[in-house]
Amino acid sequence: MPSPRYFLKHFVPFTGYPYEGAPAACNLCGCRDAVTVAETDRRLKTLRSIACTQCGLIRTDPMPTPDELAEYYASAYRADYQLAFAGGPPRHHLNRSAREARFRADLLAPKLTPGAQLLDFGSGSGEFLAEAKRRGCEVIGVEPGRDYATYARTHHGVEVLDEAEDPNRFPAGHFDVISTHHVLEHLRNPAETMERLARWLKPDGILYAAVPNMAATGKPPHERFHFAHVHGYVRETFDLLARRAGLVPHTEYWREDTTVVYRKTDAPAVPLTNPGLADRLAVDLKPMSAGLYFASGAWILPALRRNAKAVRDGMAKDEVAKDRNAGR
């Protein structure tokens, strides 16, 4: 379990996260002008998020440095974000990942044919790789999280790389299907990553990409912000990110806002702009004050749900340990 110092840094409300960061230009369009859309995150911790005035892409400000993000993902992310304190993915994650993998595979079924080359960028514990492999695809994953990558290799028998930062790691036009599920919000350089993935895609291939939709309804605005998500997207900015990489939505596939299947296009480049979007987001995403939200008690149920998952997984691991000790 994490130390008390860990909890002090990452869970105590009304305090900042343990990083310094540095100002950064918009990764999508390069503009430095921005408006503030939030000052706190889902834990009521201080976290400033801004929207680019030119294209509307949301980013953390100041942006964590590469070393700070690397340290966070190495030491804190799984516990902080998924309540996976030790020993690999928790049961609630595996159950959710299996359901999502079946949904994704059914959506992409026309391309998941025997012999199809598939890359899952950010493959996690490997459930989607396993589902695609079961359908006859030749699969490979990329997952920097060591425990999760090890789980995928051990339990699903799939090949998983630790990283694929080199644009020449795979030949151009190599993959029939590329998938990246809830990954691009975590990256400092999502535009460059999308361009790299598009380069590896065959001319008639498809790229499935999904990120949280910052404009989604049904939850308080500040619940959409988290230190792990250094970029935030809405439908317009996500499509513009893809367009910069030479991709457009594939109209033959279902989409839901920021869950999209893209294809390559030879159409001329478009301006990387969304006039007025940043100001609209500043209004739509403006949260109630942290103090008012805390006093309202609306944070209690989400916290109980997260803790309940951790307790259930802990009990399940204890039962497994007892069975092993009893020789069962």
User: 18: exposed, middle or buried (C-beta count within 10 Å: 0-12, 13-18, 19+)?
Assistant: middle
Mean per-residue pLDDT for 60-65?
Answer: 97
Residues whose CB falls within 8 Å of the CB of residue 55, separated by 6 or more in sequence, listed in order: 26, 28, 29, 31, 237, 240, 272, 273, 274, 277
Binned at pLDDT 50, 70 and 90, residue 289 comes out as: low
Task: Say what the pLDDT of residue 328 is.
Answer: 42
Q: What is the mean pLDDT of residues 297-306?
A: 61
pLDDT of residue 83: 53
pLDDT confidence of residue 33: 98
Q: Report the 10 Å Cβ neighbour count for 166.
A: 8
Q: What is the pLDDT of residue 77?
A: 73
According to the model, what pLDDT value does residue 308 have? 56
**241 has pLDDT over 70:** yes
State the pLDDT at residue 326: 47
State how far the Cα of 65 lies from the Cα of 71, in Å rounded to an integer: 10
Torsions phi, psi for 284 (to 5 deg)? -65, -35
Q: Is 159 exposed, middle or buried (0-12, 13-18, 19+ CB in 10 A)?
A: middle
DSSP at 321: H
- 8 pLDDT tier (thresholds 50, 70, 90): low
* pLDDT (average), residues 273-280: 97
**Average pLDDT over every residue of 210-230:** 86
pLDDT above 90 covers what percent of the chain?
65
| Number of residues in the chain | 328
Q: What is the pLDDT of residue 141?
A: 98
What does the pLDDT read at residue 322? 45
Lowest-confidence pick of 18-27, 67-76, 203-212, 225-234? 67-76
Looking at per-residue pLDDT, the higher value among 68 and 84 belongs to 68
More confident residue, 192 or 293: 192
Dihedral sign for Cα 252, 216, 225, 233, please: positive
pLDDT at residue 75 in the model: 66
Specify the pLDDT at position 324.
40
For the chain, the average pLDDT equals 87
Choice between 264 and 7, residue whose per-residue pLDDT is larger? 264
pTM over cut 0.75: yes
Q: What residue has token string 């960028």?
A: 121
| DSSP conformational letter for 83 | -
Q: Residue 320's pLDDT is what?
A: 37
Higher pLDDT: 77 or 87? It is 77
Measured distance CA(7)–CA(326) in Å, rounded: 34
Q: What number is the average pLDDT over the span 267-291?
A: 88
Burial class (CB in 10 A: 0-12, 13-18, 19+), 11: middle
Res. 286 pLDDT band, cuts 50 70 90: confident
What local confidence, expressed as pLDDT, does residue 92 receive?
81
CB contact at 8 A, 108 and 179: yes
Per cent of the chain over pLDDT 70 is 81
Residue position matching structure tokens 């460059």: 192
Dihedral pair phi/psi, residue 46, rounded to 5°: -70, 120
Residue 2: pLDDT over 70: no
pLDDT band at 288 (very low <50, low <70, confident <90, very high): low
Inform me whether the pLDDT recorded for 296 exceeds 60.
yes
Residues 208-228, mean pLDDT to the nearest whole number? 86
Question: Which tops the pLDDT comparison, 299 or 144?
Answer: 144
